[in-house]
């Protein structure tokens, strides 16, 4: 199978999975990953760390807590950027 055919098959399988009404988390993760990949700050090192997380090992409570805190900080940062843009617009 060529890489193009493999990519097309994976896309078709993913599209089929997303039709399931219970695929909300899958959809959310895909959108988040697509946004991260569009950000130059999401480095190849981050991508490798994310790939490691996707290997099926449980995420520790310490890692989850740290990620939640960083996520909240990131959300506040985005809100401040939006407020600054609205103020100058």
Encoded tokens for 45: 């090192």
pTM above 0.75, yes or no: no
Angle, helices 3-18 vs 24-38, to 10°: value is 130
DSSP strands (E only) in 2-89: none
- Is it the case that residue 89 has pLDDT exceeding 80? no
Q: How far apart are CA 80 and CA 86, in angstroms?
A: 10
Nearest alpha carbon to residue 10 among 28, 37, 36, 30: 30
What pLDDT, on the 0 to 100 scale, is given for residue 13? 93
The number of beta carbons lying within 10 Å of the beta carbon of residue 53 is 11
pLDDT in tens, 1-27: 788 887 788 889 999 999 999 999 999
> Domain limits of the chain?
1-42
What pLDDT, on the 0 to 100 scale, is given for residue 49? 94
What pLDDT, on the 0 to 100 scale, is given for residue 59? 94
Q: What is the mean pLDDT of residues 36-51?
A: 95
């Amino acid at each position: 199978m060529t890489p193009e055919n493999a990519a097309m098959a994976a896309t078709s399988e993913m599209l089929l999975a997303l039709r399931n009404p219970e695929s909300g988390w899958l959809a959310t993760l895909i959108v988040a990953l697509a946004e991260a990949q569009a950000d130059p700050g999401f480095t190849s090192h981050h991508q490798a760390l994310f790939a490691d997380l996707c290997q099926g090992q449980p995420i520790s409570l310490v890692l989850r807590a740290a990620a939640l805190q960083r996520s909240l900080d990131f959300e506040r940062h985005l809100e401040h950027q939006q407020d600054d843009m609205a103020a100058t617009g």
